[in-house]
Amino acid sequence: MTVDEVPDLYPSEPLPIRLMNTVWASRGVVHDSLSSVAQLQQWARQCGVRPATGLTRADLARARSLRDALRRLAASVLEDQRPSAVRADWPAGEALHTLNDFLRTSVPEVVADDTTLRRRWHSSATGFERELVAIALEGSDLLSEGTARLGACHGPGCVLYFERQPRREWCSAGCGNRARVARHYHRHRGASAETPR
């Protein structure tokens, strides 16, 4: 994989988490998959977000702003202390203001489908900004459900988030295996240090 490629990490995750996971780690190095407009366009194509072409630096800045706000708020809600996971210098209150800035263009409306009524959100935003608003709305639902629906992976060196499901503790089986190996190592290392020689 070249440095400009955007890995399609866990495509079954909801869009807000897929956006959050454009910050990821490999071999102890944290990467940002939204460093250029080309990367944003690749990510949008992978996720089925339209438009996925003709995006601008302003679109990139807005996507990164939403991504960072969602990550900061997830860390706050989950009491996530992973040092590489979020910008520690950004207060959660500012992140909440950023998220609410996206939500301001949306209003609820009730629509009829045959004999049922349902609520949907209508946004006055257009183009790619409208897609970001939809991601912000879904992200606000995830955040409001907290640990019931959102998890932070505590595999060694991991900085990803995931949608919580029964018995799921890590973003992937690989992180789960690394966490178990690390626990085993520390448990046995601690036991051997206590054993007199």
Read off the CATH number of the domain in which 179 is found: 1.10.3300.10
Domain-embedded: residue 1: no
Domain-embedded: residue 41: yes
Domain-embedded: residue 39: yes
Domain-embedded: residue 82: yes
Say how many domains are in the chain: 1
- The pLDDT tens digits along the chain (197 residues) read 454 678 888 889 999 999 999 999 888 889 999 999 999 999 999 999 999 899 999 999 999 999 999 999 999 999 988 888 877 788 999 999 999 999 999 998 999 988 899 988 889 999 999 999 999 999 999 999 988 999 999 888 889 999 988 777 768 777 867 656 666 556 666 555 555 55
> Phi and psi dihedrals of 163, rounded to 5?
-80, 125
Whether residue 56 contacts residue 44, with contact meaning beta carbons closer than 8 Å, is answered with: no
Domain-embedded: residue 3: no
pLDDT given for residue 135 in this prediction: 97
Domain-embedded: residue 158: yes
Domain-embedded: residue 87: yes
**If you compute the radius of gyration of the chain from its CA atoms, what whole number of angstroms results?**
19
pTM attached to this predicted model:
0.85
The C-alpha atoms of residue 81 and residue 65 are separated, in whole angstroms, by 21
Domain-embedded: residue 6: no
The C-alpha atoms of residue 52 and residue 197 are separated, in whole angstroms, by 64
Whether residue 47 contacts residue 15, with contact meaning beta carbons closer than 8 Å, is answered with: yes
Range(s) of the domain holding residue 49: 15-194
